[in-house]
Structure 1
């Protein structure tokens, strides 16, 4: 008999590839002392009664999104996260949330307040960060770009079906050589009779492997300025392949996009994008939404830990009875209260036209770093179960890492705010900046 490959007594494989051992027990049977996240815990993180700051409409939407996320997403998220696959069958359920199109009015979009949109993204992220990213990419990036930078004809053509999630979008800015330095992108757009030819490569593009509509940002070969284009799935010369082996947001289908002389008709050029500054209004709003994802993740981790510590017993008492555990739980709760108030104020600054790029960047940088502390403490509180996706915390721990990086890393967002408060830009190394003088 061939030697065993895999853990002893587990579901390993022999040299012929056949499975050996028995499949894993259901978590509820293997560990009956605590409830897994497939039955999501009650929301108990609103210690300072943040709901009082919301309108009745915002409260109603929050409850609706929470209920649908807990019922439809919580039972399946661990399975699909482990497989690194997206639950396409859940898209109709996500459509019932009514979040696609967020603040856009008309064209079948919900016309929400920014606050309502932000707290809703947090409620989805509380249960599953990947699904919140799917919605954010589709709505706050792809749809918002068409709504803010597209022609009237483009809005009428694309937004209604996207608002119903019958058509899914993605948004392609990042390239293999240009992440934080996104404005230096190389993908080119060359004018030809009747339209444009796009050549280049994009990387880390969420939803790209299955999106029906791809928003591609490219450099105009003549003007050298940024232009935007709507590219349809299946266009000749377009290829999108899945990025494998991610440790976070595993359900999100991030892809590499290759563009080889992809023809885009003139009618699908986004007429409102002629420079990098033209997409700043899209990025400003999406950065607020991304700032609320860590808030939602932290809420879910706290809720899970709160229930777990009362269910799990050691030394003859529930873990919640021990002083060290209570201190960690309170520290997590305090972080969440501060994160929520920062996020809420950011929304209000935007809604009153007072928000600056520095405000948005500080908000995203600060909530993501504080959420890191929350999920790290949660990981400690759950002990061995803190490394199992079944109990949410391990999954949230990993999912937060890409969010800490995308829409501007912590460092780059800090420098955006630093530039605003000092008047000095410090993005390029001092030696390089001096050499260009």
Structure 2
């Protein structure tokens, strides 16, 4: 048996065939082909320049991946379909997956789950088509892991408007968004609320974070908010507490596990391609025992991560959302991703640090995935609390 990647990455146990309809697989195969043909060739230069090519969204938007033709609506909105979509995107480049998911995942979910029925109905079509681009602005310069209790951005009611003061950090795509979904603490009741703030509103300033060694093409921003006025109509009416924010985050937690699985598949594909072409001592290095042992470990990690992501999405689609399951999947798949990309870099030797061979992109991006959407330590404490019934949080 020859183990070869499909358009959806390495999947020797047939998870995609088991859990996706033929129509959904066809959509994702088309996506994979578009990425391979039109996006991946752009990403090497994008890494050098630390910029996101303008053509990336131009390739993705026409595919209508949030409402794909021929796919049943229930499947198209499922965690399973969006998970495999994320895997295919991350298999090409993690920044591309992050860019798309900033819109299709957290921002769309924030409006759908946090807005009123009227707000959601009015905006969802524009969000799906990218006519209205938005981002999820929660993390702050001084608050990441402790954001639940430490959120410092404030909102003060003044008649029919709100005045927002504070700052947000690590907000992907902020500089190109139309609106920012800003989470702020109401000074009157100390509860968290959310506001759709126009990027061009008076008092909003955005600057990109430079000097990153991971997610280089993705433009992460710092948002400063000084006396920004937002109408009550632009407050998301369904978010009145941190519990409401958690409900939104819970629906998106599986995304990181899928990204971790996807980047491993991309790294393995690049490594196999290299070792079958690169010759030393008169033959391809892919025929050496030590190289094959590393490749086998990479495949094992990749498939294990995929299986965990699939089962997490299956449970979520069945209505079983569990913070322990999400935390376990995130910490394990991100940990395995780190090992997988390190093995990939090893088998390429010195060439493993060159962007032109692709493995280096995945190697660097695994560090970002390991830390964002809950650090390894925070997720470990969630799992530990589930195991013991005792909280180790301070």
Indicate the TM-score class for this superposition, using the shorter chain for normalisation: over 0.9
Q: Find the partner of 1:50 among 15, 26, 41.
A: 15
TM-fit CA distance, 1:69: 1.2
TM-fit CA distance, 1:50: 2.5
- How far apart are the structure 2 equivalents of 1:283 and 1:415? 18
TM-score normalised by length of structure 2:
0.94
Verify: 1:176 aligned to 2:141, yes or no: yes
TM-fit CA distance, 1:43: 6.6
Maintained 8 Å contact 2:308/2:329: yes
- How far apart are the structure 1 equivalents of 2:298 and 2:112? 38
Q: Where do 5+ consecutive residues of structure 2 fail to align?
A: none
User: How do residues 13-162 of structure 1 correspond to structure 2 at under 5 angstroms?
Assistant: 45-54=10-19, 55-100=21-66, 111-162=76-127
Q: Where does residue 243 of structure 1 map in the other structure?
A: 209
Verify: 1:234 aligned to 2:200, yes or no: yes
- How far apart are the structure 1 equivalents of 2:381 and 2:194? 26
TM-fit CA distance, 1:175: 0.7
Q: Where does residue 306 of structure 2 map in the other structure?
A: 340
Q: Find the partner of 1:167 among 124, 129, 132.
A: 132
- How far apart are the structure 1 equivalents of 2:48 and 2:192? 38
Maintained 8 Å contact 1:62/1:116: no
- How far apart are the structure 2 equivalents of 1:286 and 1:191? 30
Query: Could you say what secondary structure the match of 1:399 adopts?
Result: helix
User: How do residues 365-404 of structure 1 correspond to structure 2 at under 5 angstroms?
Assistant: 365-404=331-370
TM-fit CA distance, 1:421: 2.3
1:179-224 deviation line (CA, Å, top 9, x unaligned): 1001121100000011100000111111111111100000001000
Maintained 8 Å contact 1:170/1:214: yes
Maintained 8 Å contact 1:195/1:263: yes
The structure-2 alpha-carbon separation of the partners of 1:392 and 1:45, relative to structure 1 and needing over 3 Å to count, comes to: same
TM-score normalised by length of structure 1:
0.85
1:375-404 deviation line (CA, Å, top 9, x unaligned): 000000011110011111111111111111
TM-fit CA distance, 1:89: 2.7
User: How do residues 193-232 of structure 1 correspond to structure 2 at under 5 angstroms?
Assistant: 193-232=159-198
Query: Could you say what secondary structure the match of 1:263 adopts?
Result: strand
TM-fit CA distance, 1:157: 3.3
Query: Could you say what secondary structure the match of 2:246 adopts?
Result: helix
1:320-344 deviation line (CA, Å, top 9, x unaligned): 1100000000111111111111010
Query: Could you say what secondary structure the match of 2:174 adopts?
Result: coil
- How far apart are the structure 1 equivalents of 2:25 and 2:347? 31
Maintained 8 Å contact 1:101/1:140: no
TM-fit CA distance, 1:111: 4.0
TM-fit CA distance, 1:423: 1.6
Query: Could you say what secondary structure the match of 1:76 adopts?
Result: helix
Maintained 8 Å contact 2:36/2:92: yes
TM-fit CA distance, 1:354: 1.9
The structure-2 alpha-carbon separation of the partners of 1:99 and 1:276, relative to structure 1 and needing over 3 Å to count, comes to: farther
Q: Where does residue 318 of structure 1 map in the other structure?
A: 284
Q: Where does residue 223 of structure 2 map in the other structure?
A: 257
Maintained 8 Å contact 1:306/1:329: yes
Q: Where does residue 34 of structure 1 map in the other structure?
A: none
1:96-144 deviation line (CA, Å, top 9, x unaligned): 3433489xx99x9994321011011110100111010011111211111
- How far apart are the structure 2 equivalents of 1:204 and 1:160? 27
Query: Could you say what secondary structure the match of 2:316 adopts?
Result: helix
Verify: 1:409 aligned to 2:368, yes or no: no
Maintained 8 Å contact 2:7/2:29: no
Q: Where does residue 294 of structure 2 map in the other structure?
A: 328
Maintained 8 Å contact 2:9/2:262: no
Q: Find the partner of 2:270 among 304, 320, 344.
A: 304
- How far apart are the structure 2 equivalents of 1:249 and 1:170? 17
Q: Where does residue 270 of structure 1 map in the other structure?
A: 236
- How far apart are the structure 2 equivalents of 1:378 and 1:332? 7
Q: Where does residue 391 of structure 2 map in the other structure?
A: 425
Q: Where do 5+ consecutive residues of structure 1 fail to align?
A: 1-39, 429-437
- How far apart are the structure 2 equivalents of 1:145 and 1:194? 22
Maintained 8 Å contact 1:308/1:382: yes
Q: Pick the structure with greater CA Rg.
A: 1
